[in-house]
Structure 1
Amino acid sequence: MSPLTPAIPPSPVRALRRLIPYFRPYRGMLVGGLVCVVMAGALGSVNPTLLRRAIDGMRPGASLASAWQAAAMMIGVSLVAGIFRFAMRELLNALSRRVEYDLRNDLFRHVLTLDAAYFGTTRTGELMARLTNDLGAVRMAAGPAIMYLVNTSVGGLFALGFMIAIDARLTLLALLPMLPLPFVMARLGRMIHERFENVQEHFGAMTTRVQENLAGTRIVRAYRQEEAEEARWASMSDDYLQRNLRLATLQALMNPTFAALGGAGSVIVLGVGGMLVVRGTITVGAFVAFAMYLTMLVWPLIALGWVLNLFQRAGASMARLEQVLDARPRVTPPSSPRALPAASSGRRLEFRDVGFHYPAAAGHEPRWVFRHVSFSVPAGSTLGIVGATGSGKSALLDLVTRAWDPIEGEILLDGVPINALSLDTLRRELGVVPQETILFSDTIRSNLAYGLPGEGDVTWAADVAQLTSTIRDFPGGFDTVLGERGINLSGGQKQRAALARALARRPSIVILDDALSAVDTHTEAAILHGLRDALSGRTAIIASHRASAIRDADHIIVLDGGRVVEEGVHDTLIAARGRYWELLARQQIEESVEAAD
């Protein structure tokens, strides 16, 4: 099950409570906005009473002075109420943007703490949808929904008070048709929440599809799958449309339902109120004021449907964001981290009876990647790890960086268990070149100096990685901006850029995970020659399916079937004519075939 798919969905009310801490830094802004809302509502409810007095003062032969006075007061009240309405929108909308800003930063900061186990079961598109679309829905609740809820509630309460003051029995009759309102709201609210959650989940799936197609556009074209992808997208888009239409049907039903209930009250007021005017029980002015107050009461009911819709959407979205915020990495820093002893350059790395497997699906036994792996890499030496694809080389290196933690055994750095070190301390010692090269849409210089306070040894690192001539071919040199994921570089150039990035850090341990698989053998030999000097005094671990990449290592281990089947130096392993010799012989045959072609 994905960490974004909880077994029991949290309630929207509980999910929205998670927002309370985000309001605390802006409590002054919130209080100020709510005061403006109350003042605007209070002032807005004065005008019908002023109109009532003006109408009741209009008798044959009477002076119009009172009518002009009432008109002037109504204008003044409307202007002041307008100022308060502007202020409430300014404050509460700004508040919602600040809450959104803080929540977005917290989400991004938290996502960066999550580890390989989380991202291995979470679709990138789904995560992007939550950090954009769902966050926007939450913002609407944090500002506009609160503003309109308080505004309509305050206006409705003032209107109700004035209505009762005019005639309590008429007020009761006018409210009778609205008794089913709470039940209608509860039912429609639950349905909107469920359908909106369904819409958001499908939007996440669509975002994932877009992300995969954009990242794999070359594959789509190479396999001539444009029409198939278009058809798949059209199907998903149609499904999304239908889900939105079903949601829109519910939303469209809310306002007419509330308006109909309020309209029924208006019919009662017209009939019963008109009779009271004829009998002289209430004045014409009071009747007009009562009708205006009823309209002021009905409008909040209609607006309440929209507000309820916003809160239900936000509840569903906040519950989805909560699943991200509540996700916890499997790899955690120690509560009391230890320090590493001082070292001039390289460090000693040791594996002690290490075993590892990836998390298994529910009801399935885990499949061990390797078990009982032990070896030691003295400070300043180079360890070569060789094995066929899928032999566990990358998994073993992932344990050194603590992308994963071992299930059995322990890994030590200068005698200190790496899980006793802070993640920052451990990773500061490492320069890693992973199998999959990731470059950012930034300058070549910034990519090579990534994570460094300045430029570091970027030029030197580019020379060692045989990248300098490539960089000079670009018009901007080191200041050339790369496309997304380094799309304007070849596979081999990307790997050399990643190697240069790792070397520029001058780490105590350099880890190369099949880092030269995309370069030709001639370039590989030149890079390895330069690395011998660059790695002098530093510890290095080089994993490769090519035996030629690690032949000069101080010690070589051969992985096969989840265990170390051979170890030693190159010449000894060749003389043994075992698994290492087979890998090297196969590689030489493949190179001969490529050269013949």
Structure 2
Amino acid sequence: MDAMGDLNVQGQSATPAELRRFLKVLWHFDRRAVAFLLTTNILAALTAGAGFVLLLPLLSLAGVMGAGGDGWSATFEAMLGTVGLHLNLATALILFVVLVGLQTWLTLLRDRQSQALQLRFGDHLRLTLYHAMAAARWRWLTRRHSADLLGVLTNDIQRVGSGTFHLLQLLTTALLTTVYLGVALLISPFVTALALVTGALLWLVLRRGDTVAKHSGALLSQATRGMFTLAQEFLAAMKLTKIHGEEGENVALFEGITSRLRGHQLRFNHVRTRVMATYKIGGALVLAGLTWVALDVLHLPTASLLVLIALFAKLLPSLSQVQTGIQQLWHMLPAFTTWRLLVAEGEEHADPTRHVPGGEAPALLRAIALEAVAYRHPTSDFVVNAAELHIPARATTAIVGPSGSGKTTLLDLICGLIPPDHGALRLDDLPLEQALTQGWRSKIAYVPQETTILDGTARENLLWGNRASEEEIADALRHAAAEFLLALPQGLDTQVGERGVRLSGGEKQRLALARALLRRPELLILDEATSALDRDNERAILEAVRGLHGQMTILIVTHRHEWLDGLIDGRAEVAAGVVGGWSPA
């Protein structure tokens, strides 16, 4: 199933089965922390209940309107007698302060652990997805919109973290509610039963809000992904948008998406606040009715009535918090479902050729060989065929062909990004799949036409994925004709800007070539690396490549061949998906 599926799939995700999956993931993440939270919640709830029970003999000892807690006084007297103490006002007050202090300490421990668990669980989800993405096949990754992946890593996982917080709050409220009900039943079973019946009626009346929470959570996930996609595409095409004067159209589209997003959030908030308001009004009516029943019908003692009113004043808001907490969980579940399905897909499409740590990466000594290789693109009928191609080691080879002929697909096959449907690729006598698991990719350096430049310093860009001394950096700059970086205002510590906006196209390519050389590669691939450059920058890079001749295997991919004379040892022609053999220049 596609994790970025349609709305119907998202709407069906807020189910009891999905809630059980969420609870299972949370439990397996850190059993000890969850068990600790359960224990501290139970103990805090019990101490809160004991404090309410203690109010009865305390009010009786204080002489509040004829007592009413004599039975409880006798019980506490007997309990204290087992440890050699007598029940009096001072003893009761000390016990009450101890119980409040103990409850406060347990609550402090619970809240700190709860916050830590919520944050660590969110990080766990984020790292799990990140790892699944990093370990997945290239073909699977190319079928996913990067904005969707970014949206899950940020917004959806943040929503799951918020839902985890509400779950932990719900646990606390549910346990306190249970203890309050138990104490109330001890004081007056009949009045408590009436309170339960009215609370259940309020619950049934407001259950429709659960459906709205499920549906709005699914809609919110969809709208958020749309916002991420639009924003990313707008930023990527910012220059073209401004040249064409299309800022207004983009702003209008973004405004429409944010308006829908706001509408979904407001609708859910409307339901949540309606539940709270209904419970407040209903709770006041119920509390008034129960007080009348307790006084005029059951004639409860004043002390018992005061404690009962205090209990119900806490109990009725707790029921509201339980219901809104459940709605928050339903609202969160679509985000969890998207995360779960995306992780499952990534793990299902895990790259079996990933490097297994240990041992030395293989060296390329003789040739890269492709024999009877065929690959069909999954989204089209385009097929790349390489009947027999042997690329000699330590030679400079040009892969030549028009745009769309299959050159990039050939590179992807050689790098192991995509597996062939038929045929075999070998590194000397070693199957490519085996070479990849032994770390062959660490011996590959790739410089594309649209190179990646980080928003940082020149040094940070050079060391991205590399470890090198100052001498090694200087050597790479010299071989890549990139010594101009040393002449920048702050040298290698000069900020180059987002996507290298403070560098020219040729400067970015030479920086990328220097970074590639710092990998100390066995195979250097230049994929149309000079096609968008002026003649001066192109000449500088070609001279740099000429200086590397014989030191490594070099593949130059281009649709132009007039400038290759004197630079290459051989070439392979690609036309309409058919890869020819290697021929000397």
Residue of structure 2 in register with 1:332 after alignment: 351
Residue of structure 1 in register with 2:432 after alignment: 418
**What is the SS of the residue equivalent to 1:548?**
coil
With structure 2 as the length reference, what TM-score do the two structures score?
A: 0.86
1:162-201 to structure 2, matched below 5 A, reads: 162-180=183-201, 183=204, 187-201=208-222
- Runs of 5+ in structure 1 lacking a partner? 361-365, 571-597
Residue of structure 2 in register with 1:579 after alignment: none
Q: Give me the whole-angstrom Cα distance separating, in 1, the residues matched to 2:127 and 2:66.
A: 70
Residues 1:322 and 2:344 aligned together: no
| Deviation, structure 1 residue 169 | 2.1
Residues 1:271 and 2:292 aligned together: yes
Residue of structure 1 in register with 2:502 after alignment: 488
**What is the SS of the residue equivalent to 2:439?**
helix
Residue of structure 2 in register with 1:350 after alignment: 369
| CA distance 1:3–1:414, change in 2 (3 Å) | farther
Q: Give me the whole-angstrom Cα distance separating, in 2, the residues matched to 1:390 and 1:140.
A: 47
Q: For 1:219, which of 225, 237, 240 is the aligned residue? A: 240
| Deviation, structure 1 residue 526 | 3.7
Letter in 1 for 2:47: L
Residues 1:78 and 2:97 aligned together: no
8 Å CA contact 2:136, 2:351 repeated in 1 = no
| Deviation, structure 1 residue 448 | 2.1
Q: For 1:88, which of 105, 110, 113 is the aligned residue? A: 110
Higher relative contact order (CA 8 A, sep 6+): 2
Residues 1:440 and 2:454 aligned together: yes
Q: For 2:477, which of 462, 468, 472 is the aligned residue? A: 462
**What is the SS of the residue equivalent to 1:377?**
strand
Residue of structure 2 in register with 1:284 after alignment: 302
Q: Give me the whole-angstrom Cα distance separating, in 2, the residues matched to 1:338 and 1:447.
A: 25
Q: Give me the whole-angstrom Cα distance separating, in 2, the residues matched to 1:242 and 1:59.
A: 53
Residue of structure 2 in register with 1:557 after alignment: 572
Q: Give me the whole-angstrom Cα distance separating, in 2, the residues matched to 1:497 and 1:42.
A: 66
Q: Give me the whole-angstrom Cα distance separating, in 2, the residues matched to 1:338 and 1:40.
A: 48
Residue of structure 2 in register with 1:577 after alignment: none
Residues 1:370 and 2:374 aligned together: no
Residue of structure 2 in register with 1:127 after alignment: 149
| CA distance 1:550–1:299, change in 2 (3 Å) | same
Q: Give me the whole-angstrom Cα distance separating, in 2, the residues matched to 1:235 and 1:339.
A: 53
1:148-163 to structure 2, matched below 5 A, reads: 148-163=169-184
Residues 1:253 and 2:267 aligned together: no
Count of aligned positions: 558
Worse overlay, 232-241 or 421-430: 421-430
Amino-acid identity (%): 24
Q: For 1:503, which of 501, 507, 517 is the aligned residue? A: 517
**What is the SS of the residue equivalent to 1:170?**
helix
| Deviation, structure 1 residue 35 | 2.6
Q: For 2:33, which of 29, 32, 39 is the aligned residue? A: 29
- Runs of 5+ in structure 2 lacking a partner? 68-86
| CA distance 1:232–1:450, change in 2 (3 Å) | same
Residue of structure 2 in register with 1:206 after alignment: 227
Q: Give me the whole-angstrom Cα distance separating, in 2, the residues matched to 1:193 and 1:451.
A: 43
| Deviation, structure 1 residue 269 | 0.9
Q: For 1:105, which of 102, 115, 127 is the aligned residue? A: 127
Q: Give me the whole-angstrom Cα distance separating, in 1, the residues matched to 2:584 and 2:319.
A: 82
Q: Give me the whole-angstrom Cα distance separating, in 2, the residues matched to 1:55 and 1:339.
A: 74
Letter in 1 for 2:449: Q
Worse overlay, 527-536 or 558-567: 558-567
With structure 1 as the length reference, what TM-score do the two structures score?
A: 0.85
Q: For 2:311, which of 282, 290, 293 is the aligned residue? A: 293
Q: Residues 187-230 of structure 1: CA distance to partner in whole angstroms, max 9, x if unpaired? A: 43232122112112211211222222223222221211122211
| Deviation, structure 1 residue 122 | 2.0
Q: For 1:379, which of 393, 404, 413 is the aligned residue? A: 393
Worse overlay, 531-540 or 46-55: 46-55
| CA distance 1:181–1:423, change in 2 (3 Å) | farther
Q: Give me the whole-angstrom Cα distance separating, in 1, the residues matched to 2:211 and 2:141.
A: 32
8 Å CA contact 1:125, 1:207 repeated in 2 = yes
| CA distance 1:340–1:230, change in 2 (3 Å) | same
Residues 1:400 and 2:422 aligned together: no
**What is the SS of the residue equivalent to 2:562?**
helix
Residues 1:311 and 2:329 aligned together: yes
Q: Residues 324-358 of structure 1: CA distance to partner in whole angstroms, max 9, x if unpaired? A: 21123757225998999997765511111222232
Worse overlay, 299-308 or 146-155: 146-155
Q: Residues 221-240 of structure 1: CA distance to partner in whole angstroms, max 9, x if unpaired? A: 12111222112211222222
Residue of structure 1 in register with 2:74 after alignment: none
